[in-house]
Structures are given as structure tokens and as C-alpha cells.
Amino acid sequence: MLAMATLVAGVYGHGYMTEPAVTFLSSSTDNTQFIATIESSASGFSGTFSGSPADNTAAFTTAFDSSKYTSLKELINDLATITVTDATLTCGSCDPDETAQPLPETYVEWSHSSSEGFTSSHEGPCEVWCDDVRVFQDKDCAADYTSAPAELPYDHDACLGTSTLTFYWLALHSSTWQVYVNCAPLETTTSTGAVSSYAVSATSFSAMLATAVLAAGVNGHGYMSDPAVTFLTSNDPTQFIATIEASDSGLSGTFNGAPADNTAAFTTAFESSSYSSLKEFINDKATITVTDATLTCGSCDPDEAAQALPDTYVEWAHSDSEGFTASHEGPCEVWCDDTRVFQDDDCAADYTTAPAQLPFDHDACLGSSTVTLYWLALHSSTWQVYVNCAPLETTTSTGATSKYAVSGASTSTSTSKSTSSNSTTTTTSTAASTAGSASYNFNTNYATSTSASTGNDASTTAAGSATTSTTTTAPIATIATPITATTDAPTTEATDAPATSTDTAKCSVRRRRN
């Protein structure tokens, strides 16, 4: 089993710093993977980033040279969205408290396997830093340093007297840029006062810290803005709360292409599946990646003040200028209690206003107690699950039925896996019936039953109990404290779980202090 885990890491991972050696904080994830991403569409850079790796890197270099950033480290701290549980932008998934390593004599080294340093297709810039001093930089490390391991000729003398060596790498082979960060503590040495030829001006560091704090508006992926939601977390509540690996979905097809291609493949596969709704699929397959989140409400408070039922649209916002994140194509649904009242195969492509306005069946919601939005983003082979809910003010049912309703009901129970260290969530779902699913057209029919679904979802989470509660008007970014178990080598694949900052000006946040 260990041999197989190591093989998996070698196949799916993308490398790690081998000199100085690093120790990872987890033995249950693929520590050679990227730990964060930057969407090129959200980078603020002009240019085309959907070409070959070399063309993308050339376009990035041109845009970077005209930008406000003075280093790759600064750009990563400003724009990156963490995608791995307990990772940080300072050390990635490495242990900053590992045994101190000797400073390399000549080269900092990066390895993917015994025969590969940088993954050759993963062109893009990399940097090496000793504390706050940059000691190496190159605009296309995979193209320029091709040995195994890759040997980076850093300024050794400028590292004397420093405590930590950190490596940053940005892979630009797709429009979703991959961020790699490794760090290693250093044995004590004495500074000679040497200055690095790669050093950047000190003023950039204060700017970097300021922009990192303000990155909230960039990193999130959205929230339901009408009806308004209240969040239970002080982390980034606009992030996805769960994932589904395409390889574990049971759906056949290719899901590593462009977002539109992935969505088309998903729609085709879904039509032939046993599932009659996105909600049912999520409850069956999703792995929760955010502490205290549930598949019923996400990170939202189901006991917030009841909201008015919108007149025409349920709305989704990412910022004042964006509804759905454009690259995050995939299906979404709106439910009022156990009745589906809206469905679309590709919400980011079909509803492009800010906020996105989803024309739900208002009358079918009368008499309901909760409205819930489900969204599955398919821009990579790790599908991102978004769930928001809001309790509704009391209304009186007119008996109206929804054209989006799912017919039939069958009881099923599923346990949702959780990668969060402090929560284990079990979801019991009375989901829509799978009977007759072969004739159900996910593209156009949306189901035509005149009877509402009798499904009922309940989710319980084992976590620390809240002792105090405060409410603030916007979330405060935090990064999860690393777990303490250590290992010398990566093992298996990880589930993405970003923990970054966001802009939720329309929402309030109730913080739990455990």
C-alpha cells in the first residue's frame, strides 16, 4: 500500500524542494501538488492565457513587467486562493518547525521524481527567498532548468544569517495558474552582510502585506445575495464547501478540458446517470472540505433572521462587478424546501449579470421555510460544490407547482466525507427518485411532474460547541492552523479546500469561538 501511495504521488504530484529537504505536515495528502491557484481572469493582467505553456508564460511575463508587482512572491500573496487544507502561502504544506537544514552550497534543488525536476509542461516563473530577501528568480523555470533535480543557482552568501528558505513557483500551462510553495528552516549561520543580486526593494514588502489583507474581494467565489445569507464562519465563506473528484463521480467522460467542454461532458454523463437532480448528486458524492459546513446549508446559518421571498429572482454575487465567476461553468439549482424551483446546466455561462439573476418559480415557494442554492463548478477535474441557504419569512401556499420539480421520492442515506480536521458530517437524504431517470432530460425538460418532491435533507456536524457569538459585517480571512503529524514524503491525493479572504459586503458573519 505504501509503495502504491508513493507511486500515486509520483504520477499526480508536481514536485517538492529536495535541497534543502522539506518535511510535510500531512501523511494523507499528495504533498507534491500545488497548494493554491490564481484564475488568470481574476489576475488583473491583460493578455491571452489559453495557449501553449510557452505562449502563456510569455504573455504573463509581458503583463507582469507592466504591473504593480515587484516579485512573484508579492503576486502570490495578493491573488492566490488556497486549495489544500491546512496549507499556507508562507510554507505550503511543509512544516516550518521541522529540523533545521544546512544551507545548500551552490544550488536549491526541486524534484518531481528521480528522472524529472520541474514538470516540463508546467512553464512559468519561480523564486527562492531567504527570509525577506529574494536570492533567485527566473521567468520560466521549467524551460530553463531541465535537470533532475532542477538546480537553481541562488545567492548563497545573501542567505547567511537567515532562518528560513522558501521556494515559490507559478505554473502557467492553463488559464488556472497553479501555485507551489515549499519552505525549510535553516541551521544557524552568521551573516556577512552580502547583498543579493536578485533582491527587490524593501518598500514592496509593506505593500505586499497590505494587499494580502485586502485580498478578500479577489479570492472568494460568491454567495447568495437575495435572499441574503448569514455565515457561521470567520474564514472565507464565499469559497466552495465541498468537492467531488471527477474520477470518483461514477460519470464517464473527459473532464480535464476547458470549462465549457467539461460542462458539456458532465451534462451528457448526467443524463445517463441514476441521478434526477444536482442536489441528489451532491448529497451522494460530495466530500466536505470546510470545517462546520454542511451539504444542507454550506457555511450559512440556517437559524438567521428569516428573509423575504424574492419577487422574481434568486441572486448570486461574487462582487459588485461579477455574479458567477465566468470560468466556473457548471450546473446550479434552487430549491424551496423539497421542491426544485430552478435549474440550469451552465449557470456561469447562461446568467452573466452582476449579480446573477436566476428566474425561479416564485409561487411554488409560497409556504416554504428555506431557499437553498446548489452550484457545481466544473472548470477542473476536482469539481467544486457551493451551497447557500436562507430561512424565509412566513408565506401561505397557493398549491402552485414548479415546472422544475423532480418527480417521485426514494429514501437513501449517505455519509459525506470530510477533510476538515475538526468536523465529521453525516447527511441523510430522502432524495428524488431515480426511477425513470433514463427518460429524464437534464438539458431541457427539468421534469414536468405536478407533484412536489417529498425529499428531506438533514445534516448533523460533530464539532466544538460555540461558547460566545458575535456578528460582524464582513468575514475576516484566516488560514487553518497546520496539524502536527509529520512525514518525510508525500503519499496520496489531496482534496482542495481553499481558505482565503473575500468580499461579502451584503452579508453578515456570525463568528463561532470554540
Q: Encode pLDDT of 383-395 as tens digits.
A: 999 999 999 999 9
pLDDT, average across residues 331-336: 98
Where a domain ends, among 214, 232, 249?
214
Question: Are both 146 and 244 inside the same structural domain?
Answer: no
In 3-state terms, the chain is what percent helix, strand and coil (to 5)? 20, 30, 55
Q: Of residues 444 and 282, which shows the higher confidence score?
A: 282
Helices (H) and strands (E) in the chain, counts: 11, 25
- pLDDT above 60 (res 33): yes
- pLDDT above 80 (res 271): yes
Q: For residue 489, is it within any domain?
A: no
Question: Are both 115 and 65 inside the same structural domain?
Answer: yes
Residues 366 and 341: their CA atoms lie apart, in Å, by: 11
Q: Residue 27: its pLDDT value, please?
A: 74
State phi, psi for 496 to the nearest 5 degrees. Answer: -70, 135
Residue (of 494, 504, 467, 22) closest to 231 by Cα position: 504
- pLDDT above 80 (res 258): yes
Q: For residue 490, is it within any domain?
A: no
Q: What b/e string do you get for 376-412 counting C-beta neighbours within 10 Å, with b at 16 or more?
A: bbbbbebbbbbbbbbbbeebeeeeebbbbbbbbbeee
Q: For residue 459, is it within any domain?
A: yes
| 3-class secondary structure per residue, 358-405 | EECCHHHHCCCCEEEEEEEECCCCEEEEEEEEEEECCCCCCCCCCCCC
Q: Of residues 467 and 154, which shows the higher confidence score?
A: 154
Residues 193 and 506: their CA atoms lie apart, in Å, by: 50
Q: Mind listing the pLDDT tens digit for each residue in 193-237? A: 999 999 986 433 333 333 333 333 334 579 999 999 999 876 777
Q: For residue 356, is it within any domain?
A: yes
Residues 315 and 317: their CA atoms lie apart, in Å, by: 7
Question: Are both 139 and 242 inside the same structural domain?
Answer: no
- pLDDT above 80 (res 464): no
Question: Are both 104 and 180 inside the same structural domain?
Answer: yes
Q: For residue 411, is it within any domain?
A: yes
Q: Residue 468: its pLDDT value, please?
A: 34
Residues 463 and 351: their CA atoms lie apart, in Å, by: 36
Pick left, alpha or beta for residue 408 (phi over 0 → left; psi -120 to 50 → alpha; otherwise beta). Answer: left
Report the run of H or E that residue 19 belongs to, with start and end.
strand 16-19
Q: Mind listing the pLDDT tens digit for each residue in 63-118? A: 999 998 999 999 999 999 999 988 999 999 999 999 999 999 999 999 999 899 99
Task: Measure Cα distances from 326 to 243, 329, 352, 364, 382 in Å.
Answer: 19, 7, 8, 29, 17
Instruction: Find how far residue 381's CA is from the centre of its chain.
Output: 12
Q: Which of 2-16, 79-93, 474-488 has the highest mean pLDDT?
A: 79-93
Question: Are both 27 and 156 inside the same structural domain?
Answer: yes
Domain membership of residue 354 as a residue range: 219-479+498-513
Which cell goes with 412? 437513501
Do residues 355 and 316 lie in contact, with contact meaning Cβ atoms separated by under 8 Å?
A: yes
Query: Which one-letter DSSP state was computed for residue 246?
Result: G
Question: Are both 238 and 176 inside the same structural domain?
Answer: no
Q: Residue 344: its pLDDT value, please?
A: 98
Question: Are both 177 and 254 inside the same structural domain?
Answer: no
Number of domains in the chain: 2
Q: Mind listing the pLDDT tens digit for each residue in 42-74? A: 999 999 999 999 999 999 999 999 998 999 999
Question: Are both 179 and 235 inside the same structural domain?
Answer: no
Q: Mind listing the pLDDT tens digit for each residue in 405-445? A: 997 533 333 334 444 433 333 333 333 333 333 222 323 22
State phi, psi for 280 to the nearest 5 degrees. Answer: -65, -40
Q: Residue 233: its pLDDT value, please?
A: 72
Where a domain ends, among 167, 198, 214?
214
Do residues 414 and 286 lie in contact, with contact meaning Cβ atoms separated by under 8 Å?
A: no
Question: Are both 192 and 227 inside the same structural domain?
Answer: no
Q: Residue 408: its pLDDT value, please?
A: 53
Which cell goes with 426? 453525516
Return the ∠ at Cα 434 (arms to 431 and 437), rounded to 5°.
135
Which cell goes with 262? 467539461
Q: Residue 201: its pLDDT value, please?
A: 62
- Under the banding of pLDDT at 50, 70 and 90, the label for residue 257 is confident
Q: Residue 234: its pLDDT value, please?
A: 67
Q: Residue 452: its pLDDT value, please?
A: 33
Q: For residue 119, is it within any domain?
A: yes
Residues 145 and 479: their CA atoms lie apart, in Å, by: 32
Q: Residue 507: its pLDDT value, please?
A: 40
- pLDDT above 80 (res 369): yes
Question: Are both 210 and 270 inside the same structural domain?
Answer: no
pLDDT, average across residues 296-303: 96
Instruction: Find how far residue 71's CA is from the centre of its chain.
Output: 24
Question: Are both 289 and 351 inside the same structural domain?
Answer: yes
- pLDDT above 80 (res 307): yes
Judged by DSSP in three states, 258 sits in coil
Residues 333 and 340: their CA atoms lie apart, in Å, by: 7
Where a domain ends, among 163, 185, 214?
214
Task: Measure Cα distances from 320 to 53, 329, 438, 501 in Å.
Answer: 32, 19, 41, 16
pLDDT, average across residues 501-512: 38
Share of the chain above pLDDT 70, in %: 72
Report the run of H or E that residue 179 belongs to, with start and end.
strand 176-185
- pLDDT above 60 (res 253): yes
Q: For residue 164, is it within any domain?
A: yes
Q: For residue 247, is it within any domain?
A: yes
Q: Which strands make up the sheet holding 150-153, listed edge to edge?
A: 16-19, 107-111, 150-153
Q: Mind listing the pLDDT tens digit for each residue in 163-179? A: 999 999 999 999 999 99
Mean of the per-residue pLDDT values for the chain? Answer: 78
Question: Are both 224 and 266 inside the same structural domain?
Answer: yes
Residues 95 and 482: their CA atoms lie apart, in Å, by: 8
Q: Residue 135: its pLDDT value, please?
A: 96
Do residues 23 and 487 lie in contact, with contact meaning Cβ atoms separated by under 8 Å?
A: yes
